[in-house]
Amino acid sequence: MTIPEIIKDFPRLPADTVRRAAAFQPAILADVAGRRGALHGRIRPLHSGMKLAGSALTVEVRPGDNLMIHAAMAIAKPGDVLVIDGKGDLTSALMGTIMMTACRQLGIAGIVIDGAARDSLEIIEMDYPVFAAGTNPNGPTKNIGGRIGHPVTVGGVTVHPGDFITGDNDGVVVVERQKIDSLLAAADKKVKDEAGRIAAIKTGDTKPKWLADALRAAGVLKDGEAL
């Protein structure tokens, strides 16, 4: 059986799941997911205030060519986040203002590129969320095939179509589509626990309760010894 290069239909997350998951910082979701799922720190928002959340529409391109991104935009659904495996290439941009404007018009929730973007000042003025490995004024070619709707590797993390993807100033985190619902209660508990810990610190309770045991387990402190 031949697998098509473009897979148009795949399970996406319900809008309510995206809404509830988007309420949590990517850092919280990465923690409750086992401290995993965070893309390499080279993939950053073009501006510190940018945030995104949605179902991943995965795109694989050859370095410096954006033909398949145009194809992905043509089949994207509102709420999708384009997650583009650009192989980390920064020698030319894969997207700029024209494409970003079209993405916004189409209801695409944002862009994650393991590659370069351009027209960054205009995109920042648009306040459209774009996370990229860098910028470059060179434009791309539109000649080479790739794949859409297949698993990709972006920032060292495997992303499947339909996975939950979220980003803020810390970077981008992906959580498996089948797993995100099961993590929301833990994420809510972690937010409350951290708020309680911060409140305690402000009253002077600054030393972690677990520190001495961890130091003993690491062999730094002997039994009965204290800081």
What's the DSSP call for residue 148? E
pLDDT in tens, 215-226: 999 999 998 888
As a whole number, mean pLDDT of residues 3-29 equals: 97
What is the rounded CA–CA span in Å between residue 140 and residue 80? 23
User: What residues have CB less than 8 Å from 214, skipping those under 6 apart?
Assistant: none
Note the pLDDT of residue 26: 98
Taking the CA of residue 10 as centre, how many other CA atoms within 13 Å lie in the half-sphere pointing to its CB? 21
Residue 98 — φ and ψ, nearest 5°? Answer: -60, -50
As a whole number, mean pLDDT of residues 99-115 equals: 98
As a whole number, mean pLDDT of residues 12-23 equals: 98
pLDDT in tens, 182-204: 999 999 999 999 999 999 999 99
Note the pLDDT of residue 224: 84
Q: Is the pLDDT of residue 1 over 80?
A: no
pLDDT level of residue 83 (50, 70, 90 thresholds): very high
Tokens encoding 176 = 């498996």
Going from N- to C-terminal start, the domains of the chain cover 15-178
Q: What are the CA-CA distances from residue 219 to residues 13, 209, 216, 224 (Å)? A: 46, 17, 5, 12
Asked whether 113 and 130 are in contact (CB, 8 A), the reply is: yes
Helix (H, G, I), strand (E, B) or coil at 67: helix
As a whole number, mean pLDDT of residues 117-145 equals: 97
pLDDT level of residue 227 (50, 70, 90 thresholds): confident
As a whole number, mean pLDDT of residues 53-64 equals: 98
Mean pLDDT score across all residues of the chain: 97
Note the pLDDT of residue 2: 82
Asked whether 133 and 43 are in contact (CB, 8 A), the reply is: yes
Q: State the fold for domain 15-178.
A: Glucose Oxidase; domain 1 (3.50.30)
pLDDT in tens, 27-50: 999 999 999 999 999 999 999 999
Q: Is the pLDDT of residue 3 over 90?
A: no
As a whole number, mean pLDDT of residues 139-148 equals: 97
Asked whether 161 and 58 are in contact (CB, 8 A), the reply is: yes
Asked whether 157 and 110 are in contact (CB, 8 A), the reply is: no
Of 97, 103, 112, nearest to 78 (Cα)? 103
The reported pTM is 0.94
Note the pLDDT of residue 200: 96
Tokens encoding 185 = 């209660």
